[in-house]
Amino acid sequence: MVIRQAQLSDLDELEELEFDCFEDDVAFSRSQWRHLLTRANAMTLVVESAGQQALSGQYLWGYAMLLLRRNSRKARLYSLCVDPRAQRQGLARQLLHAAENAAIAQGCTSAMLEVRADNRAALALYRRLGWLPQGWIEHYYSDGCAAWRMIKPLG
């Protein structure tokens, strides 16, 4: 597996991955993806397979999207997604480390994210990797689920 920055040529696979991982009302649309990949102050890292798996038609197995603000030293992990068929193989951990390193390279000293309160696996992973809960947000998601805001000092 290789982690690299996403390109516009990844749009079809990113869109498919998004719909496999998230419900329709929270998945990015094609136009949102295009904006995030070309015009937004964002960085999307993808994990791709090499060799035989890539030849079978699928090569993107996950992504991490960072939003960066000009003149800010705080990054926001806006989305993290791993194909359900590739979960529990350490890909999320690898993507998180790569995203944190990318944020550091951009001069960020901390990162934040929001995570569904009922996503115990993600909460446990973030905590193991040094993310700290900073606040509770009621009714954050469209289905009414609350979220934890988490932060991590970088560097």
List strand residue ranges (DSSP E) for the chain, in order: 2-5, 42-48, 60-68, 74-82, 110-116, 132-137, 147-153
Residue pair 77/64 in contact (Cβ under 8 Å)? The answer is: yes
> What per-residue confidence (pLDDT) applies to 26?
64
Annotated domain spans of the chain = 2-153
Per-residue pLDDT of the chain (155 residues; tens, 9 = 90+): 899 999 999 998 898 888 877 765 567 888 888 888 888 889 999 998 875 444 445 588 999 999 998 888 999 999 999 988 878 888 999 999 999 999 999 999 999 999 999 999 999 999 999 999 999 999 998 889 999 999 999 98
Residue pair 124/70 in contact (Cβ under 8 Å)? The answer is: no
Q: What pTM does this model have?
A: 0.87
Q: Which ranges in 10-79 belong to alpha helices (H)?
A: 11-21, 30-38, 52-55
22 — phi, psi (to 5°)? Answer: -125, 155
Strand-pair partners of 62: 47, 82
Instruction: Please tell me whether residue 127 adopts helix, strand or coil conformation.
Output: helix
The type of residue at 143 is D
Superfamily for domain range 2-153? Gcn5-related N-acetyltransferase (GNAT) (3.40.630.30)
- d(Cα 149, Cα 131) in Å, to the nearest integer? 10
